[in-house]
Structures are given as structure tokens and as C-alpha cells.
Chains A and B, each alone.
Chain A
Amino acid sequence: MKALQRVTAATVIGFLALLGGGYQVLAQIKIGSVLSVTGPASFLGDPEKKTLEIYVDEINAKGGVNGQKLQLVVYDDGGNADNARTFATRLVEEDKIVAMVGGSTTGSTLAMIPIFEDAKIPFISLAGAIQIIQPVRSWVFKTPHTDKMACEKIFADLKARNLTTIALISGTGAFGKSMRDQCVAVAPSSGIKIAIEESYGPRDSDMTPQLTNIKNKAGVLAVVNPGFGQGPAIVTRNYRQLGITLPLYQSHGVASKQFIELAGPAAEGVRLPAAALLIADKLPANDPQKPVVVDYARTYQQKTGQAVSTFGGHAYDGLMILLEAMKRAKTADPVKVRAEIEKTKGYIGTGGIVNMSPTDHMGLDLSAFRMLEIKGGDWTLIPGT
């Protein structure tokens, strides 16, 4: 029986640890994480895991927090919400973590929330949907911008350019669907009319039928593509193939250099909302986020050899917000830490400047998003956004 063997092994190891670990007087601060490192959401989980590991090591090298070292326990849920829940239970019961930074996808986050609420452990989620923090749950926070904010930012730009009738083409995956729902919900109050909607599967290789329908719809002035992964790159290519010249807006889900590579010359002129992290080097010198994002981008690039990703940035913010809260509380006690997380004010992160409150467990406003345009194969910041 596996269970018996595990228990025996654990007991033996436990005794050995007690005997041999005597010199470690202070316990370590155990931080847990359940991320989608493999599977369909590895786009998210992989940079998140790397970021957490890099920075926990770095902080431990500098002496840890409150004189204690950090210990990171990461599990991979493979993009499956049920697995996430099992690992969450394990983190709480077996590993006895004091705080959790993780949950790459909305699905896995929602599945894990009850576990952490019951255990009274602060949970900083790295997923995008607004339902995570609305309604506000006292133990749940999140760092990424909500998809609702992305829609609002895009719509604001559309309004400014007088492009008030649009087409929506979204991916049917969780990210695209969630953002599409939000866009449809906020369109009326933003003064935007959605004239036609199309969708595509996350693994589709050709979206020309859908784009043809959009091209033939009268009155459409711009196209918005909530989506994630390879879909938006193919949509963008097909866009050019069909010779559609209307302005194209992508979502913050494609915010990585790879999108530009994959979409090729078709990406020229595409606009999207993104965190300052993406244009770290191009930020004006007096931008408050500049030091943080430049440092993170450089560190990540150096340690992993890969270009920086906003999702990794969310993990960075989550970890730092947690640790700052621990420092202010002068303890790792979950109840006190939770109270301090809620009091986060003026934290400058990769995603923006965070000001939380009892009614706002995310703390970002629209200014945290910058409007970018792709020019000459690179991001450029649109001034005044």
C-alpha cells in the first residue's frame, strides 16, 4: 500500500530530520505555489515558476525575511483544476505553508479558493478573471490586471480614435472567453458597439472564414481579438492575408516578443494593452515603474536566457507583495500577514502601482495598463496612455 509506505518513509525521514536538523534553530517560512507548469497553460505557469524560484533564492542569499529563510514548495497542476485542488490540500495539510502565491489559471484558482479560505491562509492568485476578487473574499488577492480592465483600456483607446463600432473575434479557451464576456459587458458603458462576433478554437490553424465574415460586415471600424497562445498570431497573419486594413487590437494575453516573431510583418500597427514590463527599456526615465521592471527584466533574462513575460512579472509582484506584508507584520503568521497584504499601498511592481484596500484585493487601476503599438517589429509606447 502506497499510503503505508509513504507514511513510513515520512516518519523515518521526519525522525532523521529532527535528529540532524537540530542546528537550524529558526523554522523556515514556507510559501506554497500551485502552477500550471505543464499542459495547455504552461505559457503562464512556466515563467511564473522560474520567477518564484529565482527570487526566493535571491532573497535567501540576502538573509531572508525577518531573519528567516524562505522555503518555496511548488506543485504542477498540469492545467487541471482538480489536480490543483489536490495539491492545494497537500500544501495546507502536509507542507503546512503559511502563504500561497499561485493559481496560474482562473479555473484552478477558483477550485483552490475554498481550501485556503477554510485553512485561513492568504492566497495571492496569478490569474486574470475578475471573479477572483469580485466579490471580495477576505483571504484571496490577485496581482494580474483583470480582463475587464483590459477591455476598458482598449475601449478607451478606441473611443479616442473614434472607432466606436467594432468586431470581436475571440478564442474559445478560458482566457479568451472570459475576456470576451467582460468586453461584451462593458461595451455599452464605454460607448462601444459590437457589430459582429466570431470565435475560433485554441488550436485552429486558419481563421480566414471568420475574418471574411468580419471583413464583409458593414460599419465595422476596428477589430478586437481576446485570445491567448498561438491563435492571435494566426489571426494577425490571416488579417494581413485577407488584406484587412482596419485597426487590430490584441489582448494582454499575447504580451510577449514571441507574438511579434510569429505574426511577422502582419503585426505592424497592432495595438494592445500591456504592463510596463514589456517596454521596460523604453519607459521615460522618470517613470516610477522603470527601476523595478528594468531590474526584473534583466534578472529574468540573465537567469533563464528567455525574454521576459508579463506572467512571470505577476508572480514577481505576488511574491514581493507577500514578503513586504510579512516584513511590515514582522511575522509570518497568516492572520497578521493577510491584514498587511490588504494594507498594501504604493507598492511599485511590474504590473503597476498597487493600492489595496478591504474592498479592492487587486489594487491596480487603468493607469497600470499602457497602450502599446507594434512598430518596426518592436513595442512602442503610445504617448498619453
Chain B
Amino acid sequence: MAELLQFVFSGLTVGAIYALVALGFTLIYKASDIINFAQGEFVMLGGMITVFAAIAGVPLPLAALLAVIATTAIGLALHRFAIAPARGASPVALIMITIGASIFLRGTAQIIFDRRFHSLPSLFGNDPIQFGGAAILPQSLVVLASATVIVILLWLFIDRTFLGKAVIATAANRLAARLIGIDTRRIVDLSFALSAAIGAIAGVVITPIALTSYDVGTLLALKGFAAAMLGGIGSAPGAVVGGLLIGMFEALAAGYLSSNYKDAVAFLIILVVLIFIPQGLFGRAKIERV
């Protein structure tokens, strides 16, 4: 029993990481129908900028703030300079642009930072919390809490503020939104900026557990994306649930089946979801079929 609980804790730890990444995907998709493959790089930048700012002597909280601000700016720039000029392009083209951006960011990070692994100190120390015979790190709870807080904030934003409703309007029908006076371009700007911020925050809280390096973005993006798809892309709670589920499946697979194929779990899930429930667990059946 304690064994199963430990697997669950592991699943929650990893799943919370995926959930945070998935939230970033979801937000941009909600506002603009774009899948942003550079989301993983936002997470990487959050972690790496914090690490290097701290090495340069900036106090840690300030370094983290700096990282979030810088990454938000980069997210904004991504939309302004790479996506917006390509308005009207096919989904293929937009995907290629975000993939190109992700490769660009990764390549540049390699040069500006370095190629080694780095860590950050945990918020509440490294002593594990014992519960029911299993141990969970305090930082895992921080990651889970962050995901929860962000989901709540997002929900409040979408549901309670005018801007939030403008985001929904833009996603539902761009032309109509423009017609009633919403500056759709600014809205998408905002969604990219917010996603980048979420990604950066994720990077900062994840690094004490998962470490960071210039290329953590790729795998995180893939898994985070699988999570978003599982939950139903466009649904924020779905992203969190999807992330936790994938984390759980991975942990259980590693514990009970073969740890070799743990990575395959997420990608198998992508295929299964697409074939049987393309709209995901919480999404609406808006997928065009031919």
C-alpha cells in the first residue's frame, strides 16, 4: 500500500510539472487556435535565466522575477515578430514557425548560457514529508499548489474580467470579436505573454526537482502537449487533469511494468486520445472530421 502511495506521489510530482506546461499550451490555443511548440522553451528560460541571474549575484527572488519578466517579453516578441506577420497562414505554417522559434530559442540558450545542468534551491528545503509510509518533497507540493493557483487565477480572469471575456470572444469568432471593437491582436499578444509567464513560473518552481539545462524544453513541451490533448486542448482544468493523469500513468508504468517504456506512455496516450476521443476529456467536440 505504501508502495502504491509512493508511486502516486511520484505521479503527482511529475504530473504537476506537465500540468503547468500544459496550461501554457491551453491559453494560447484558447485565444488563437495556435499550438505553440515553443512553450517548452518558456519553461527552460524561466529556469535558466533565474539560475544565471543568481550566479551573477542577483538575489534569488529578484532573479526569478527577472526571469518571468524576460520570458514574458520573449513570448510577446514571438507573437509580434513571428506569428502576427504570418496571419492567414495555414496551420502547417504556423506550427513550423513555432517549431522554428523553439529551435532558435534552444540554440541561442546554448550559446548565451551553457550546456550543463543546473539546479535551484527548493522553497521549503529538501526534507521529505512522510505520509502513509511514502515520502514527498515539499517542492512537489509547491508545484502542485502553483498549478492550482494558476488555474484558479485563469478561471477568475476568463470568467470575471472583461479582458478574459474578450479572449473567449476572440477564440470563438475572430471576425465577430473585431467587429464589436475587440483589438484581437492585443488579445493574442496578451495570451502569448501570459503563457510565457506561466511557462517561466513553471520553470522556476520545477527546477529544484527536475533540474534545468538548455534542452529541457523539447521533452517537456511534448509531454505537456500530450497532457493538454488528453485533457482537451482549450480547457484549463483539463490541462491540469491531463498532466496529472499522464504523470500518474508514467509512475505506475515505471513501478509496475517496465521502466524502459515509461516515456512511451505519454506518446501512446497522444495516439489513443486522437483516435478515440480527439476532443479530450473536457474539451468540446469541435474537431473536424473528414
Q: What mask results when residues 313 to 346 of chain A are scored 1 for a CB within 8 Å of chain B, else 0? A: 0000000000000000000000000000000000
Contacts of A258 in B (CB 8 A): 116-117
Q: In whole angstroms, how far apart are the Cα atoms of A264 and B126 in the complex?
A: 9
Q: Tell whether, in the assembled complex, residue A201 and residue B117 are in contact, meaning their CB atoms are under 8 Å apart.
A: no
| B277 lies within 8 A of chain A by Cβ | no
Contacts of B6 in A (CB 8 A): 208-209, 212, 242
Q: Given A38-B110, A262-B119: A205 and B7 within 8 A (CB)?
A: no
Q: Tell whether, in the assembled complex, residue B14 and residue A233 are in contact, meaning their CB atoms are under 8 Å apart.
A: no
Q: What residue in chain A is nearest B129 (Cβ atoms)?
A: A241
Task: Report the minimum CB–CB distance from B156 to chain A (whole Å).
Answer: 30
Report the count of interface residues on A (CB-CB < 8 A): 35
Q: Point out the residue from B10, B110, B260 that lies within 8 Å of A206, measured CB to CB.
A: B10
Q: Tell whether, in the assembled complex, residue A208 and residue B259 are in contact, meaning their CB atoms are under 8 Å apart.
A: no
9-residue interface stretch from B78-86, B191-199, B209-217, B228-236: B209-217
Q: What mask results when residues 36 to 54 of chain A are scored 1 for a CB within 8 Å of chain B, else 0? A: 0010101100100000000
Q: Given A43-B115, A258-B117: A209 and B126 within 8 A (CB)?
A: no
Q: Given A199-B260, A210-B259: A205 and B115 within 8 A (CB)?
A: no
* Residue of A38, A210, A241, A243 with most partner-chain B CB within 10 A: A241
Within 8 A of A (CB), among B230-262: 251-252, 254-255, 259-260, 262
| B9 lies within 8 A of chain A by Cβ | yes
Q: What mask results when residues 234 to 253 of chain A are scored 1 for a CB within 8 Å of chain B, else 0? A: 10010011110000000000
Q: Tell whether, in the assembled complex, residue A212 and residue B3 are in contact, meaning their CB atoms are under 8 Å apart.
A: yes
Contacts of B9 in A (CB 8 A): 208
Contacts of B210 in A (CB 8 A): 205-206, 234
Report the count of interface residues on B (CB-CB < 8 A): 34
Q: Tell whether, in the assembled complex, residue A208 and residue B10 are in contact, meaning their CB atoms are under 8 Å apart.
A: yes
Contacts of A240 in B (CB 8 A): 126, 128
Contacts of A230 in B (CB 8 A): 117, 211, 213
| A204 lies within 8 A of chain B by Cβ | yes
Q: In whole angstroms, how far apart are the Cα atoms of A262 and B14 in the complex?
A: 19
Contacts of B254 in A (CB 8 A): 198, 200, 209-210
Q: Given A208-B6, A209-B10: A43 and B259 within 8 A (CB)?
A: no
| A310 lies within 8 A of chain B by Cβ | no
| A32 lies within 8 A of chain B by Cβ | no
Q: In whole angstroms, how far apart are the Cα atoms of A42 and B213 in the complex?
A: 12
Q: What residue in chain A is nearest B17 (Cβ atoms)?
A: A205
Q: Given A46-B115, A241-B137: A213 and B211 within 8 A (CB)?
A: no
Task: Report the minimum CB–CB distance from A207 to chain B (whole Å).
Answer: 8
Q: Tell whether, in the assembled complex, residue A43 and residue B116 are in contact, meaning their CB atoms are under 8 Å apart.
A: yes
| B153 lies within 8 A of chain A by Cβ | no
Main secondary structure of the interface of A (DSSP, over half): helix
Q: Tell whether, in the assembled complex, residue B128 and residue A243 are in contact, meaning their CB atoms are under 8 Å apart.
A: yes
Q: Tell whether, in the assembled complex, residue B117 and residue A209 are in contact, meaning their CB atoms are under 8 Å apart.
A: no
| A365 lies within 8 A of chain B by Cβ | no
Q: Given A209-B251, A241-B128: A198 and B259 within 8 A (CB)?
A: yes
Within 8 A of B (CB), among A197-230: 198-201, 203-206, 208-210, 212-213, 216, 229-230
Q: Given A38-B110, A241-B135: A206 and B119 within 8 A (CB)?
A: no
| A173 lies within 8 A of chain B by Cβ | no
Contacts of A199 in B (CB 8 A): 259-260
Q: What residue in chain B is nearest A264 (Cβ atoms)?
A: B126
| B263 lies within 8 A of chain A by Cβ | yes
Q: Tell whether, in the assembled complex, residue B211 and residue A172 are in contact, meaning their CB atoms are under 8 Å apart.
A: no
- Given contacts A205-B13, A210-B254, A242-B6, list 12 more A-B pairs with CB under 8 A: A172-B260, A200-B262, A209-B251, A209-B254, A212-B7, A212-B10, A234-B210, A240-B128, A241-B126, A243-B128, A243-B135, A262-B119
State the A residues within 8 Å of B (CB). Answer: 38, 40, 42-43, 46, 172, 198-201, 203-206, 208-210, 212-213, 216, 229-230, 233-234, 237, 240-243, 258, 261-262, 264-266
User: Can you identify 8 A-B contacts, CB atoms within 8 angstroms?
Assistant: A205-B14, A205-B209, A205-B211, A206-B10, A208-B135, A209-B251, A230-B211, A258-B116
